[in-house]
Chains A and B, each alone.
Chain A
Amino acid sequence: MNVDLARWQFGITTVYHFLLVPLTIGLSPLVAVMQTRWLKSGDQRWLRLSEFFGKILLINFALGVATGIVQEFQFGMNWSQYSLFVGDIFGAPLAFEALLAFFLESVFLGVWIFGRGRVSPKAHTASIWLAALGTNISALFILAANSFMQHPVGAVFNPETGRAELDGMGGFLKVIFSPTTLYAFAHTITASLLVAGSLIAGISLWWLVRRMNAGDTAEATNYWKPAAHFGLVTMLVSSLLVIGTGHFMGQHVGEIQPTKMSAAMGIYEGGEAHPLGLALTSTELGPDSVITLPIPGLESFAATNHFSGPDSYIPGTKDLQEQFAKQFGAEVNGMPVNYIPNVFVSFYSFRIMMGLGFASFILSIVGLAAIKGDKLPTSKGLAKLFIWTIPFPYIASIFGWILTEMGRQPWVVYPIVAEMGVKDSNQMVKLLTENAVSPTVLSAEIVISMLAFTLLYAALGIVWFLLVKRYAKEGINTNADYEVKPVDLKAEPNATLSFNY
């Protein structure tokens, strides 16, 4: 009971938090780029664009930070047995994240918001770069911690304490720079740039069309076309990188977590040259439960880089269940254990993620074609298309995480497959989710807190959306006679803050 509630709570708070994180990770460096363009050229257009998108960044940042605190504390609150089991390894990346990333992010974001005129333009521009660096370092440490749950390298099981321990000081570097971490980092950062690029492209194209139809060719040409171009190029490059990193990450996941990959692929019986599965005919996998595309080997290629032959072999969930049951026991606490994650969720989240990733790539090409050369589009359909597709990479990211996290079930710490059979399985670093939950916490406490979080998140989510929408609709006041001049603090010791509530 508790374990289901605690899982729902973790799922809800994490997915919600991750609605906000990718935009912050992606948009902060892009805003920094815009401001740097102004700093280098003195071109006020880029300053105003950086301010426009900077405001959206800040609205988003607030809720991201607020919901992030919950993430750090809930390991101890809901998952105390997990925290005890892996604390020796898992806590350090969290502490590093706070010390190396959060301080950087928070202190310099404060300087950036309030400090224009209080610090030099160079220091002000450096502030947004440092804040962006902070968000990206933070991503590295969090993904390292998460990757440890997926593939617990750098740790050994200590039978005396019954806990996982860091495998010497080198173990820490193994955790931070494991291939699992690096794949996840590359995939997440590029996905975040795609999220931010889509937002910039969407809003800018919408404005471009709107200003053209209002007869304001000047604003459309001077502001929204370069902004749209910037967003679309970011989309194009990042979508290609997302697809590329995703391809290699998928193969890596297939090696380290065969149950996740076989469930996502919808493969019941192992074999070579698998065709691509399109849909499931039932929620459980069976011999004929997948409708496939009649091109042989496409799915095998995605998973193994081989269309056919022995190298294209993908194991099926049927074989893996038998293998895991043999290794780790068919029953735990008298209940049969299903070592295969939820097939329905895994299968479709994988396809939604990939489909939307490709959609972003196609959209970026459509958008770039629409503004190629001297073209200034006036099609309202185009504007709507780009507004409505802003959520695509968001949804893709969310389903990516659902696949990542639900796909590792029933494990909270997935055993290292390469060591299976070699080691005594009792001596491996591994933990079933049901053994990770806090025993002291009452179900009622989780239910009440889950209700409270859900209601508060919903209310704040609505405010967040309306604020972003309101700021996006306000646009840039291009008529304002506004130039940034540094303030001489010695001459004017009482200079006002650049933001005054």
Chain B
Amino acid sequence: MELTFLQILWFILIAVLWIGYLTLEGFGFGVGMLIPIVSKNDRERRLALGTIGPHWDGNEVFLLTAGGATFAAFPAWYATMFSGMYTALVLILLLLIIRICALEWRGKINTAKWRNTWDTLHTTVAWLATLVWGVAFGNLVQGMAIEVGHYENGVFKAADPNAVDAALKAGDNHFLTGGFFSLFTPFTVFSGLVFLAIFATHGALYMAIKTRGEFSVRNMELAKKLTLVTVAGAAIWGLWANFAYSANALSIIPLLVAALAFIAAAFFAQQNKDVAAFFASFTAIAFAVVFVFLTFGANALKSYVNEKYNLTLVQASATSPTQTIMTIAAVIFVPIVLGYTFWAYKSFAARMAVENVPEKPAGLGPQVRAFETAK
């Protein structure tokens, strides 16, 4: 069966949602990772948190939308990937839960111990979640132990690779049979490390453009060094990914754009052009996502066991009425969502200096307010 227009469109839209998540939460994770490194005191930590405060929650919705869109447009992709990456996803979920609580509750009680606990958790989680996302995307590029078959009393029976279509018709499905530890290879672990470098750079640049004064300068100085690590790491990773794993000759194009954008980010950073450097980093991440999706498209999941076991988009696809309904919703609501998201960013566009952060932290003291009790 041929790919339909709607299937291609939804593959692109899912990539766009991941671009939204990784470019926007990318700096959110970066800020979380760098807070103890770039801030000298609690007031600066609060300044750093304030740069992502109004936005991180909206940014995270890109992930939820990507999950929902994958479920709706390509159910088999969603089912195979999420059940196959079970333990990795559990880890991600636990980390994201802690991150949300750390961000929301940190300012609720005004004691140093309370703040430090949540800050430590926030930073740890930002490092770990970035690493796990990197490993996960490394797996998408590299391919996984995907096989077609069925389970009989808990034992997997693989179908003949040359008779996959008939097997699928008879009730077999795609499964990731490798288990949790199969997700770790030198390439996927290296992907995790590259993600760390990219997000840290992105976060430093973001803090630089959202603040003024010494704090901004300090972030820029850090970003100057980080961009070099990122360019080197991303270059090795991109070449490795493209020539060892890409199933698609076109993938070289976004790779080149991403490479140029990473270099531009480093170049602008050295010249202290923080806004230009941030948007170059933004563009680089966006095209890196395009690259990742092209390395495995038009499959949904690539098998390293046998390429006949690949889960193709056609096999993974929902029916056309479902994709049509979703398209109508996307055409109407994506511009609206982007519109008010942009408005929200604009409302908080003014750069903040540490003087704009009140000396007294938010939150209630450890003791309940003393009340006069007349009787």
Binding site for B on A (CB under 8 A): 55, 58-59, 61-63, 65-67, 69-70, 72-73, 75-78, 80-81, 83-84, 86-92, 94-100, 102-104, 106-111, 113-115, 118-119, 160-162, 165-169, 171-172, 213-216, 438-442, 445, 448-449, 452-453, 456, 460, 463, 467, 470-471, 473-475, 477, 489, 493-497, 499-501
Take A165-B319, A440-B177, A501-B107 as given contacts and tell me if A77 and B372 are in contact as well, using a CB distance cutoff of 8 Å: no
CA distance A63 to B102 in the complex (A): 10
Are A76's CB and B340's CB within 8 A? no
Minimal beta-carbon separation of A269 from chain B (angstroms): 39
List 22 A-B pairs, Cβ < 8 Å.
A70-B93, A70-B97, A77-B82, A77-B83, A83-B75, A87-B72, A87-B76, A95-B72, A95-B326, A96-B326, A99-B329, A99-B330, A99-B333, A110-B58, A114-B54, A161-B169, A165-B319, A172-B322, A439-B154, A440-B156, A460-B97, A497-B53
Are A75's CB and B71's CB within 8 A? yes
With a cutoff of 8 Å between Cβ atoms, the chain A residues found around residue B55 in the complex are: 110
Contact bitstring B319-361, A, C-beta under 8 A = 1, else 0 = 1011011100110011001001100100110111101111001
Question: In the complex, what residue of chain A is closest to B90 when comparing beta carbons?
Answer: A449
Within 8 Å by CB of A91, from B68, B171, B348, lies: B68
CA distance A100 to B61 in the complex (A): 11
Are A169's CB and B361's CB within 8 A? no
Are B97's CB and A69's CB within 8 A? yes
Are A467's CB and B358's CB within 8 A? no
Question: In the complex, what residue of chain B is closest to A476 when comparing beta carbons?
Answer: B369
Are A495's CB and B356's CB within 8 A? yes
CA distance A288 to B83 in the complex (A): 46
Are B371's CB and A214's CB within 8 A? yes
Minimal beta-carbon separation of B275 from chain A (angstroms): 16
With a cutoff of 8 Å between Cβ atoms, the chain A residues found around residue B179 in the complex are: 442
With a cutoff of 8 Å between Cβ atoms, the chain A residues found around residue B169 in the complex are: 160-161
Within 8 Å by CB of B61, from A87, A98, A453, A500, lies: A98
With a cutoff of 8 Å between Cβ atoms, the chain A residues found around residue B361 in the complex are: 500-501
Minimal beta-carbon separation of A88 from chain B (angstroms): 4
CA distance A67 to B96 in the complex (A): 9
CA distance A113 to B347 in the complex (A): 13
Other than the known A99-B329, A111-B54, what 12 A-B pairs have Cβ atoms closer than 8 Å? A66-B101, A76-B79, A83-B71, A94-B68, A99-B333, A106-B58, A107-B340, A216-B372, A449-B90, A456-B98, A470-B368, A501-B106
Within 8 Å by CB of B344, from A94, A110, A171, A442, lies: A110
From A55, A103, A115, A477, residue with most partner B Cβ within 10 Å: A103
Are A496's CB and B356's CB within 8 A? yes
Minimal beta-carbon separation of B213 from chain A (angstroms): 10
Is B105 in contact with chain A by the CB < 8 A criterion? yes
Minimal beta-carbon separation of A244 from chain B (angstroms): 32
With a cutoff of 8 Å between Cβ atoms, the chain B residues found around residue A97 in the complex are: 68
Is B373 in contact with chain A by the CB < 8 A criterion? yes
CA distance A81 to B104 in the complex (A): 35
Are B101's CB and A83's CB within 8 A? no
Question: In the complex, what residue of chain A is closest to B338 when comparing beta carbons?
Answer: A103
Within 8 Å by CB of B341, from A73, A103, A452, A477, lies: A103
From A87, A89, A495, A499, residue with most partner B Cβ within 10 Å: A87
With a cutoff of 8 Å between Cβ atoms, the chain A residues found around residue B57 in the complex are: 65, 106-107, 109-110
With a cutoff of 8 Å between Cβ atoms, the chain A residues found around residue B249 in the complex are: none
Minimal beta-carbon separation of B357 from chain A (angstroms): 5
With a cutoff of 8 Å between Cβ atoms, the chain B residues found around residue A86 in the complex are: 75
Within 8 Å by CB of B364, from A80, A90, A92, A474, lies: A474
Minimal beta-carbon separation of B37 from chain A (angstroms): 18
Is B185 in contact with chain A by the CB < 8 A criterion? no
Take A114-B348, A214-B372, A214-B375 as given contacts and tell me if A88 and B356 are in contact as well, using a CB distance cutoff of 8 Å: no
Contact bitstring B54-66, A, C-beta under 8 A = 1, else 0 = 1111101101110
Take A439-B154, A475-B369 as given contacts and tell me if A497 and B90 are in contact as well, using a CB distance cutoff of 8 Å: no
Question: In the complex, what residue of chain B is closest to A107 when comparing beta carbons?
Answer: B58
Within 8 Å by CB of A440, from B61, B171, B175, lies: B175
Within 8 Å by CB of B318, from A88, A106, A171, lies: A88
Are A477's CB and B97's CB within 8 A? no
Take A441-B83, A470-B368 as given contacts and tell me if A119 and B347 are in contact as well, using a CB distance cutoff of 8 Å: yes
CA distance A493 to B179 in the complex (A): 54
Are A452's CB and B348's CB within 8 A? no
Minimal beta-carbon separation of B201 from chain A (angstroms): 24
CA distance A216 to B80 in the complex (A): 63
With a cutoff of 8 Å between Cβ atoms, the chain A residues found around residue B90 in the complex are: 77, 445, 448-449, 452-453
Is B205 in contact with chain A by the CB < 8 A criterion? no
Question: In the complex, what residue of chain A is closest to B357 when comparing beta carbons?
Answer: A500
With a cutoff of 8 Å between Cβ atoms, the chain B residues found around residue A89 in the complex are: 322
Are A80's CB and B82's CB within 8 A? yes
Are B71's CB and A87's CB within 8 A? yes
CA distance A168 to B324 in the complex (A): 10
CA distance A166 to B96 in the complex (A): 33
Are B325's CB and A169's CB within 8 A? yes
Is B109 in contact with chain A by the CB < 8 A criterion? yes
CA distance A156 to B142 in the complex (A): 37
A-B pairs, 4 with minimum CB distance: A87-B75, A76-B82, A91-B72, A91-B71
CA distance A456 to B94 in the complex (A): 8
Question: In the complex, what residue of chain B is closest to A82 when comparing beta carbons?
Answer: B79
Take A84-B75, A474-B368 as given contacts and tell me if A59 and B108 are in contact as well, using a CB distance cutoff of 8 Å: yes
CA distance A84 to B80 in the complex (A): 9
Is B46 in contact with chain A by the CB < 8 A criterion? yes
Is B362 in contact with chain A by the CB < 8 A criterion? yes
Are B356's CB and A62's CB within 8 A? no
With a cutoff of 8 Å between Cβ atoms, the chain A residues found around residue B108 in the complex are: 55, 59, 467, 471
With a cutoff of 8 Å between Cβ atoms, the chain B residues found around residue A58 in the complex are: 104
With a cutoff of 8 Å between Cβ atoms, the chain B residues found around residue A499 in the complex are: 53, 107, 362
Is B207 in contact with chain A by the CB < 8 A criterion? no
With a cutoff of 8 Å between Cβ atoms, the chain A residues found around residue B28 in the complex are: none
Minimal beta-carbon separation of A78 from chain B (angstroms): 8
Is B180 in contact with chain A by the CB < 8 A criterion? yes
Is B84 in contact with chain A by the CB < 8 A criterion? yes
With a cutoff of 8 Å between Cβ atoms, the chain B residues found around residue A95 in the complex are: 65, 68-69, 71-73, 326, 329
Within 8 Å by CB of B93, from A73, A99, A104, A473, lies: A73
Take A80-B83, A445-B87 as given contacts and tell me if A118 and B101 are in contact as well, using a CB distance cutoff of 8 Å: no
Take A214-B372, A456-B94 as given contacts and tell me if A83 and B78 are in contact as well, using a CB distance cutoff of 8 Å: yes
With a cutoff of 8 Å between Cβ atoms, the chain B residues found around residue A78 in the complex are: 83
Is B49 in contact with chain A by the CB < 8 A criterion? yes
Are A77's CB and B86's CB within 8 A? yes
CA distance A101 to B53 in the complex (A): 20
Residues of chain B in range 10-64 having any CB-CB distance to chain A below 8 Å: 45-46, 49-50, 53-58, 60-61, 63-64
With a cutoff of 8 Å between Cβ atoms, the chain B residues found around residue A438 in the complex are: 79, 83, 86
Is B151 in contact with chain A by the CB < 8 A criterion? yes
Are A500's CB and B358's CB within 8 A? yes
